[in-house]
Amino acid sequence: MDSWVRLLLLVACLFPALVECRVRHYKFNVVMKNSTKLCSSKPIVTVNGKFPGPTLYAREHDTVLVKVVNHVKYNVTIHWHGVRQLRTGWADGPAYITQCPIQSGHSYVYNFTITGQRGTLLWHAHILWLRATVHGAIVILPKRGVPYPFPKPHKEVVVVLAEWWKSDTEAVINQALRSGLAPNVSDSHTINGQPGPISSCSSQGGFTLPVDSGKTYMLRIINAALNEELFFKIAGHKLTVVEVDATYVKPFKTDTIVIAPGQTTNVLLSADKTSGKYLVAASPFMDAPIAVDNATATATLHYSGTLASSATTLTSTPPKNGTAIANKFIDSLRSLNSKKYPAKVPQTVDHNLLFTVGLGVNPCPSCKAGNGSRVVASINNVTFVMPTIALLQAHFFNISGVFTTDFPGNPPHTYNFTGTPKNLQTSNGTKAYRLAYNSTVQLILQDTGIIAPENHPVHLHGFNFFAVGKGLGNFNPKKDPKKFNLVDPVERNTIGVPSGGWVAIRFSADNPGVWFMHCHLEVHTTWGLKMAFLVDNGKGPNESLLPPPSDLPKC
């Protein structure tokens, strides 16, 4: 009988027009692969030998099973960035938060259902700095028969932006941790795995996007970079933004988008020229005195019928510190808030939280390059210490001594946050903030001026949230909430905290489990800018965390 069931499922998947396949099976083999870029070769960790990795396709309400087999020397986990993981925290992926890592020679099946989501997300490794090369797209199509809330494009194209180091990225961060200083920046940015032609390496090719005149294309743009926010633009063409982080937005036109690590943006591109080649550019955005990779990744938009030898129409990239350009884009984002896709913004708040996010300096006697000090990062002055047992396992099995639930809801000391405090030190701890099921949260994320103010793209696992307000300087709890947008704020899973400013988000704690929140600049995560929310079970099985699968990796 079992074989007949398998045969029926196979027929359904091979002929989806007859019966929609609701279970999607993928196999991710984590393997080493030699790769050459910038006229330099090195072995990299990949999924199925590809950089970027394979695109995972599913439809809203599909169940997805991904068997990850680890063939490399590193421990591995995969995070399905932005997937809600309702009651399935065991499949979320951050190492030592929801699972112990998959050890070399072992495997684990990630099993989750995509509920109430459609659009573009991403998957990536969530341990060490492996996500530099272990990442790819997640494309969630609407339920069959449900149209997009915008004209259907002629074709859809995944565009993955990333960074590339000539050196081994694990060696880069390990050297930095030994020294106590910041790691070396990347050597280039990439568009779909290619930096584009550069003067120092004439053989370096670039990604080509072929288009037909008069057709409309949807670009599913993903920033999979480790540490850098990016501008993206195409010479001579406007882009119509229709979605961010797998949520529909009110469409608007722009010539430049800004996209932080972990964020996604879907745009419609009208191929409204008759012919030609046009430069596609991804360049860094950094409006603080922080070192970045200044290289611009390039690709080519190539109209059919245009000779390969034709000159490419160029475009100027925004200035690296183009805050006004970034703000214009960010301030244009509004939830679609239609009858079919309403913006369910919490109108009342049970937990009113203020979290400072920023850097610090702690003693490190062995850090000679840092003169006996080490750069760290923190939330509310707590530098997170990674446990050796996953927090979710400790919570589910009542294992004591792994973490505490006394994460502070407000900064331990009040000061001019965007100024320069006298004390640069932080405290260490493995702490979570506890939330009752379905409670509502307003969280102010406040940048600090310790060392330097900086834009922090903060990612919350397990939830979407609404960005109801933002501003420069210190958040004013009396004046600023009066300007909040509680009608159609953009809904995201990753939000940029402005340099020297703050952002306000709201969400409902409707997902039981332990959920990581951290800066998506990997260097800041490594330094400790992370914490977790523990959401208790609600009433009955439908509001409770499912038990762990039998193949959950052991520490």
Residue 150: phi, psi to the nearest 5?
-155, 165
- Of 490, 494, 497, residue with least CA distance to 473: 497
Residue 331 pLDDT exceeds 90: yes
Domain shared by 401 and 461, yes or no: yes
With 70 as the cut, is the pLDDT of residue 92 above it? yes
Tell me, what CATH number does 95's domain have?
A: 2.60.40.420
Residue 21 confidence (pLDDT)? 55
Q: Which of 298, 332, 366 is the last residue of a domain?
A: 332
Q: How many domains does the chain have?
A: 3
* pLDDT for residue 511 is more than 50: yes
pLDDT exceeds 90 at position 14: no
What's the pLDDT score for residue 16? 43
- Is 477 part of any domain? yes
Of 141, 168, 194, the one marking the end of a domain is: 141
Same structural domain, 481 and 392? yes
Mean pLDDT of 424-442: 97
Q: Does some domain include residue 552?
A: no
Residues 246, 217 share a domain? yes
Largest CA distance in the chain: 72
* Residues 198 and 301 grouped into a single domain: yes
Residue 203 pLDDT: 76
134 and 159 fall within a common domain: no
Residue scoring higher pLDDT (238 or 13): 238
pLDDT in the model for residue 221: 99
- Both tokens assigned to 81: 């960035």
Is residue 150, in this structure, part of any structural domain at all?
A: no
pLDDT of residue 273: 97
CB of 296 within 8 A of CB of 235? no
Tokens, residue 508: 């409902």
Can you tell me the mean pLDDT for 422-437?
Answer: 95
When pLDDT is cut at 50, 70 and 90, the band that residue 200 belongs to is confident
DSSP 106-140: -EEEEEEE--S--EEEEEEE-STTGGGTSEEEEEE
> Rounded to 5 degrees, what are φ and ψ at 3?
-65, -35
Mean of per-residue pLDDT scores for the chain: 95
**Do 247 and 314 share a domain, yes or no?**
yes
- Are residues 112 and 202 located together in one domain of the fold? no
Domain presence at residue 10: no
Closest CA to 131 of 427, 522, 550, 428: 522
| pLDDT band, residue 197 (cuts 50/70/90) | confident
- The domain in which residue 52 lies consists of 23-141
Residues 327 and 361 in one domain: no
Q: Is residue 15 part of a domain?
A: no
Residues 285-309 have a mean pLDDT of 95
Based on the fold, state whether residues 484 and 536 are members of the same structural domain: yes
Contact by Cβ (8 Å): 555, 100: yes
Could you read off the pLDDT of 450-489 as tens digits, one per residue?
988 999 999 999 999 999 999 999 999 999 999 999 999 9
Tokens of 314: 């160029």
Same domain, 189 and 322: yes
- Asked if the structure places residue 376 within a domain, the reply is yes
Contact 447, 353 (CB under 8 A): no
Residue pair 275/213 in contact (Cβ under 8 Å)? The answer is yes
Same domain, 307 and 230: yes
Residue 6 resides in a domain = no
Using the predicted structure, report yes or no on whether residue 7 has a pLDDT greater than 70: no
- End position of a domain, from candidates 141, 166, 188: 141
Two tokens, residue 399: 């294992």
Same domain, 295 and 391: no
The answer to whether residue 79 is domain-embedded is yes
Residue 326 confidence (pLDDT) above 60: yes
**What percent of the chain clears pLDDT 90, i.e. is strictly above it?**
92
384: confidence class by pLDDT, cuts 50, 70, 90 = very high
The predicted-structure confidence for 139-172, as pLDDT tens digits, reads as follows 999 999 999 999 999 999 999 999 999 999 999 9
Mean pLDDT to the nearest integer, 490-498: 98
